[in-house]
Amino acid sequence: MNDRVETCIRPGRETPPTVSICIPHYQVKQLMTACLRAIRKHTDGPTYEVIVVDNGSRDESLDWLRSLSWINLVERGESTPDNWIRAMATALDIGLERARGEYYLIMHSDTIAKRAGWLQRLVDAMNSGPDIGSAGTGKLEVRGRLNSAIRSATDTKRFRLWLRRTFLGDQGARQLEREPCARDFCAMYRTGVLREHSLSFLQKGGYSAGETMHYDLKALGYRPGIVPVREMMKYIDHIAHATGAIVPERKLERAHMFRKTRRRIAGLLDRQDIQSLLADPSLDI
């Protein structure tokens, strides 16, 4: 094992970590293996702990998680909400209750660190100002002008909302205004601030967990420390909606999104660096 692994604070250690990382999980062993092993391999500071909140897995992935002595595993079992979006948000709240770090980082199991310095970069963003309440990045993709124009012109959701406003008189049928904020696939917060104000990741007003937390923090006078997408793409990968493309009961509703996500997962798992992670059980010890 290399020295970087020593930055991990194992369960039972009295010394608190700088960062508590919380990852909700449900029956995606291969992705979770890559996610957790990448954290161990590529985290050279600051000190951290990992809290995995399992949302009622009933396959071999749960036994594997139980075998990892370096993570804090929370098994929700039958108490997991049936609504999987609510299950994820409440899992993040559970992780916050158990976090010992100064900073609280939420991650998805389809987020993969790929180089040293990724965690320190987020801490640096948090420390860039006293009014920074969160740190993270936007969607990990870079679009050219032509691509953006095509996507806007073929935005069927926007068109459907226009039809409802025009022909049904539904003036509430409008897309939400979304401000730049730390996306919840990899977003960091000040643990003390979230606890002091009893903030929750439960979604409100049609926003995601990360957006909900952003607006709650904004109301308290905090602003986000945004790491540019191009820079963050050097540190991490993220396959959006991966659980929905793997777990049958959470299958993505849109067929084209399902196929696209399956292709992205296959491409990720075929990469040499990911294959090396999956072939290295020493990172589990």
In this structure, how many other beta carbons lie within 10 angstroms of the beta carbon of residue 19?
Answer: 27
The answer on pLDDT for 150 being more than 50 is no
Q: Are strands 19-25 and 48-54 parallel, antiparallel or unpaired?
A: parallel
Q: Output the pLDDT for position 132.
A: 98
The answer on pLDDT for 168 being more than 80 is no
With a pLDDT cut of 70, the percent of the chain lying above it is: 86
Cα 162 to Cα 154, 159, 171, 173, 176, distances in angstroms: 13, 5, 9, 7, 13
Q: Output the pLDDT for position 141.
A: 82
Q: Using one digit for the tens of pLDDT, what is the confidence trace for 231-244?
A: 999 999 999 999 98
The answer on pLDDT for 276 being more than 60 is yes
State the Cα angle at 82 between 80 and 86, rounded to 5°: 75
Question: For residue 209, which of 182, 184, 241 has the smallest C-alpha distance?
Answer: 184
Domains and CATH numbers, the chain: 3-138+180-284 (3.90.550.10), 145-179 (no CATH)
Q: Using one digit for the tens of pLDDT, what is the confidence trace for 192-249?
A: 999 999 999 999 988 999 999 999 999 999 999 999 999 999 999 999 999 989 987 7
**Where does the pLDDT of residue 256 fall: very low under 50, low under 70, confident under 90, or very high at 90 and above?**
confident
Q: Output the pLDDT for position 249.
A: 72
For residues 148 and 138, the model is more confident at: 138
Give yes or no for a contact between 156 and 248, defined as CB atoms under 8 angstroms apart.
Answer: no
